[in-house]
Amino acid sequence: MYGGRLKLFHLSDIHFGLEDRLALDWARACIAREKPHAVAITGDLTMRARHREFRAASAWISGLEVPVTVEVGNHDIPYFNLYERFLGPYGRFKAIKRMVESELDLPGLAVVPLRTTTRAQYQRFPWSNGWVTGKALAQCLAAIDAHPEGTRILVAAHHPLTERRHDGKLLTINGTRAMEALAGRKVMAVLSGHIHDPFDLVAETAAGPLRMIGAGTLSRRIRSTPPSFNEILIDGDDLRVEARNLEHVATPDMQIAEVPENALPPREPGEPVAPVGTVPPVDPPVH
């Protein structure tokens, strides 16, 4: 049984510490004015999980007067304090704890979290890419299965679930298995961040197609498109996405065609890689 029309805003990668103030003020004004049914924030609230960045993120998110779910990004677990990283990685979220990895239950639709960020990965270093552990997937599937048949389900994760890039490079560990399980449950779409460019793709899995929707960034750490967030309109089983941005770039021009490895801006052949920790140059707006 399908419910009525719903409007969600999908925000991601605000990266307090390097946030885009103008874009954030605009996003907050849109939320206050349009009152979407809910806001899903798919991780990377901060740059380096510093206390002051979490204070700013928590204050901003707490001021949104609509239901909010927040996923944890790879930038949100303590980076410099290894003791805290391993023993209490979510401690700095305490001001918005009730929203973190929390399910949103709306009329006829649920937004279910799927954790893809881990404290460490024995398969590789650095640990910035995604990993869907067996436990994380089981929790997500149990939450989906608890809903009555016909409930529309959106899954919210930080990393896109794509396991391998076209050239074979490993992206999200166990992503293929997770995508098959979600496609088999007829999930409407998986919402994710991490890439800093929006996309709206359909992945073919062994269990059928799965829609993958990525939001851009509201930070100054842009990849190839200006700061943006996704407006998601759901009517019955129809779901439409608009990548809203201050520069009025049309959604098809905002959305990239393939999930890339990371949020770094695309490079020309032979161009040197920017040193780690530097802010990528601002690309000219795409019109």
Q: Which residues make up the interface to Fe ion (CB under 5 A)?
A: 13, 44, 73-74, 194
Q: Which residues are paired to 243 by β-bridges?
A: 230
Using the minimum distance from each CB to Fe ion, give the nearer residue, 102 or 117. Answer: 117
- Spatial separation of the C-alpha atoms in residues 157 and 271, rounded to whole Å: 32
Q: With beta carbons less than 8 A apart as the criterion, state whether 218 and 29 touch.
A: no
At its nearest, how many Å lie between Fe ion and the CB of residue 260? 12
| Shortest reach from residue 202's CB to Fe ion, in Å | 23
CB of 46 vs Fe ion, minimal distance in Å: 10
Nearer to Fe ion, 6 or 17 (CB): 17
Partners of 22 in the β-ladder: none
Q: Give min distance, CB of 143 to Fe ion, in A.
A: 23
Work out how close the CB of 16 gets to Fe ion at its nearest, in angstroms, rounded to a whole number: 11
Region of 57 on the Ramachandran plot (φ > 0 left; ψ -120 to 50 alpha; else beta): alpha
Nearest distance from residue 45's CB to Fe ion, in Å? 9
Nearer to Fe ion, 151 or 228 (CB): 228
Contact indicator for 71, 91 with CB cutoff of 8 Å: no
Answer whether 170's CB lies under 8 Å from 131's CB.
no
Nearer to Fe ion among residue 74 and residue 228 (C-beta): 74
Structural tokens at position 187: 């999930």
For Fe ion, the closer of residues 2 and 79 by Cβ is 79
> Rounded to an integer, what is the distance from CA 227 to the centroid of its chain?
14
Quote the least distance from Cβ 95 to Fe ion, whole Å.
21
Q: Residue number with the shortest CB distance to Fe ion?
A: 44
CA 257/CA 196 separation, integer angstroms = 13
Q: Which residue, 73 or 227, has its beta carbon nearer to Fe ion?
A: 73
| CB 15, min distance to Fe ion, A | 6
**Listed residue (255, 276, 237) closest to 5, CA to CA:** 237
Q: How far is CA 268 from CA 54, 189, 196, 216, 283, in A?
A: 35, 32, 18, 21, 13
For Fe ion, the closer of residues 194 and 211 by Cβ is 194
Q: Decide: helix, strand or coil at residue 186.
A: coil
Residue 108 or 280: the one with the smaller Cβ distance to Fe ion is: 280
Q: DSSP characters for 90-111? A: TGGGGGGGGGBT--EEETTEEE
Contacts of 167 (CB under 8 A, 6+ apart): none
